[in-house]
Structure 1
Amino acid sequence: MILSRHNISNADRWAIDGMLLPPETSLSSLLQMSRREMMSNLASIASAEAVNGEPLAPIDADQEVWASGVTYMSSRLAREAESETADVYEKVYDADRPELFFKSNGWRVVGPNGNIRVRSDSAWDVPEPELTLVINAHEEIVGFTVGNDVSSRSIEGENPLYLPQAKVYNQSCALGPAIKLVDSESLRDLPIHLQIHRSGSVVFEGETRTSQMKRNLEELVSYLFREMDFPNGALLMTGTGIIPTEEFTLQSGDLVRIQIDDMILENPVL
C-alpha cells in the first residue's frame, strides 16, 4: 500500500493507493494508531475519488525528522577522512549507542521535485541517500520513504560539534515521493541507488543495500524512543552508505536522483 500527500484545492489531502482519504485524515492521526489498527482503518475509509495532482513531501507540519549517522562502514571511513578529530567516528561506529540527531521539522521538508540547497558558507556539500523509516507513536515501523540528508562535509569536518549547522538548514531535508507501508522484515536488504546529473550528464553514481548497515532498524528506533515520546509518530533517516569522492561537491543546477526499491525521489539543487 502506498500512502501519499497532495495539494487538492489548496488543502493538504492524503491518499492510499491513489484514492483520496477523508479530509480530516492526516499522517499524524494515522500514526497515533497501532500498526494493525491503522491498516484496518485505511482499508475502510478510502474513497472512490482518485488523486489528481503532484505529490507533496509525505509528512505533516507538526511531525519531526530525525537521522542516524555512521551506520555504514563507508560513512565511517568518509567522515574519518574529512575530520580533524577522526577517532570520534570510529568510536561511535563501534559503540553500543548510535549517533542520532534532529534533522527537520515537518514544515521545513522539501518534497519531490522541490529545490534542495547547499549552504553559502560551505565549500564541500553532498547528498546523502537514506532509507527513512516511518514510525508510529507505539514504536512500530509501519513503512518507509526515500530521504536525502543534504550535508556540508566541510563544516562537520572542521569540528564534529558543528554537526547541527552542517545538517540543519533551509531545504536540507527532502523526502518522497510517498510512503510504502511494509513491515520491517521487508526493509532488510533493499537496494539504494544514487545518481547526480549535471548539464545532462551523470557526474556521480553509487549504490548500496540496506543489508550493509551495521545496526538493525529496530535498534535505531529503540534508541530514538528512549526518554522521548512521539505522539504523532516520527520519521527516522537511517544513515548513508553512498559517499561521493572527496573531489566532488554539489553545484547549483545539479539534479539528485535517489531510488530505493521502486520509489524514486528527484530534487534539483538551488
Structure 2
Amino acid sequence: MRIIRFVNDGFAQLAAVTDSGQIFALPQSDFLALVKEADAKAISPLALVFNTIDGSEAFKGQVEELELLVPIEAPEVWAAGVTYERSRDARNYEATEGRLDASTFYDKVYDAVRPEIFFKSTAARTVGPGGEVQLRSDSVWQVPEPELGLVLNAKGEIVGYTIGNDMSCRDIEGENPLYLPQAKVWKRSCSLGPAIRLAETVDNPYNLQITSRIYREGEKAVEGTANTNQLKRKLEELTEYLIRDNELFDGTVLLTGTCIVPPNEFTLAHGDRIEIEITGIGKLVNHVVGAGN
C-alpha cells in the first residue's frame, strides 16, 4: 500500500494506492496525521487505510495522470554517506583526483562503527515529483544520488519508505571534506516521492531494486542499477545514530546513501531529466534547471 498526495480541485489530497493501482481518497490532512490516528486507535496504518477505504469508490484514472505533490513535507531531511562500497570508491576518486590506490578518510568512514550522517534539506528546499531540481552556479561536476528514504516519526521509528534524490557537487566535496554542506545543501537540491510505501507492507527492505536513468535531449545518457542488499549498514543502525542526543521531528526523512554513481566524466546539465525507480514505491521524475532559474 502506497500513500500519495496530489492536487484535487485546487487542494492537496491524501490518497491510498493499492497494489492493483486503485486510488482511494483519505480524509487525513497528511501522512503523519494518518500514522498518528492509527496509533491513537491502537491499529496499524495499513488497517486504518483498509477501514477507511472499505466500500469507497476509487478515483478514475492512473497515478501517472495525477498532479502529484511531495508525499510528505519533511521538516528535515538527513542523509547517510559512504554506506555502499560504490559510494566509498566514488568519494575516494573525488578526493584523490582519480588515484584510486590512495587511501582516504572515506575508507575509515566505510569501516568505522559510527556512520556518516549529515543534514541535507528542509521542506522549503525540497521538491516533489515532476518538480525542478537546480544546479549550483559554482560547481562544474554535479550528479543525482538515487537513495532509499526512511520516513520517521519523532521516536525514530520507520513508518514508511520513499525515494530520494540527494543532489551532489562532486568537485566541491572532493576539494575539501569540510565543504560537504555546500556540496549538498542549496535550494531545490533534494527531491522526494512519488509516494510513501507503508513500512509494514515491505517484507524485506534489503531487497529493493533501485534504477536510475538520466535523459538528455530525449536520449538516455546514463543508466544504473543497484539493490539495497548492497548496503553496508542496517537501517536501524542509521536511525539510531540520527536520534542519538538529537531532537527528531515527526516526518523527518533519512536518505540511506547511494550505490549508483554516473561515470566520472558525466555532469548534469540544464534540461536533463532524472528518473529514479525503487521496487514497490514508484518512479520519481525530476527535471534539471540551471542556476538562477
User: Residue 253 of structure 1 aligns with which residue?
Assistant: 271
Distance 1:172 1:86, change over 3 A: farther
- Cα 1:98/1:36, change in 2 over 3 Å: farther
After superposition, the Cα gap between the structure-2 partners of 1:234 and 1:108, relative to the gap in structure 1 and judged at 3 Å, is same
How far apart are 1:138 and its partner, in Å?
Answer: 3.2
SS at match of 2:261: coil
* 2:51 is the counterpart of 1:44: yes
- In structure 1, runs of 5+ residues without a counterpart are none
TM-score by length of 2: 0.85
Contact kept? 1:19, 1:51, Cα under 8 Å: no
SS of equivalent to 2:259? coil
Question: Given the alignment of the two structures, is residue 266 of structure 1 paired with residue 271 of structure 2, yes or no?
Answer: no
Q: Which has the larger radius of gyration?
A: 2
- Answering whether residue 150 of structure 2 is matched by residue 133 of structure 1, we say yes
Question: What letter is aligned with 1:209?
Answer: N
TM-score, L = length of structure 1: 0.91
What is the CA-CA distance between 1:244 and the residue it aligns to? 1.1
Q: How does 1:196-207 map to 2 (within 5 A)?
A: 196-207=214-225
Q: Which residue of 2 aligns with 1:76?
A: 88
Give the distance between the partners of 1:64 and 1:51, measured in 2 at CA.
Answer: 34
**Counterpart for residue 24 of structure 2:** 19
Looking at structure 1, the residues matched to 80 and 43 of structure 2 have their Cα atoms a distance apart, in angstroms, of 27
- Mapped to 2, the partners of 1:218 and 1:6 lie a distance apart of 30
Are positions 1:210 and 2:222 aligned together? Answer: no
Instruction: Map residues 1-270 of structure 1 onto 2, 5 A cutoff.
Output: 1-17=1-17, 18-22=23-27, 24-32=28-36, 34=39, 36-46=43-53, 48=57, 50=59, 53-60=66-73, 63-84=75-96, 87-183=104-200, 185-262=203-280, 263-270=282-289
With over 3 angstroms needed to count, the CA separation of the structure-2 counterparts of 1:163 and 1:225, relative to structure 1, is same
Amino acid at match of 2:91: R
The code of the aligned residue for 2:31 comes to L
Partners of 1:241 and 1:180 in 2: how far apart? Answer: 21
Task: State the distance in 1 between where 2:122 and 2:13 align.
Answer: 19
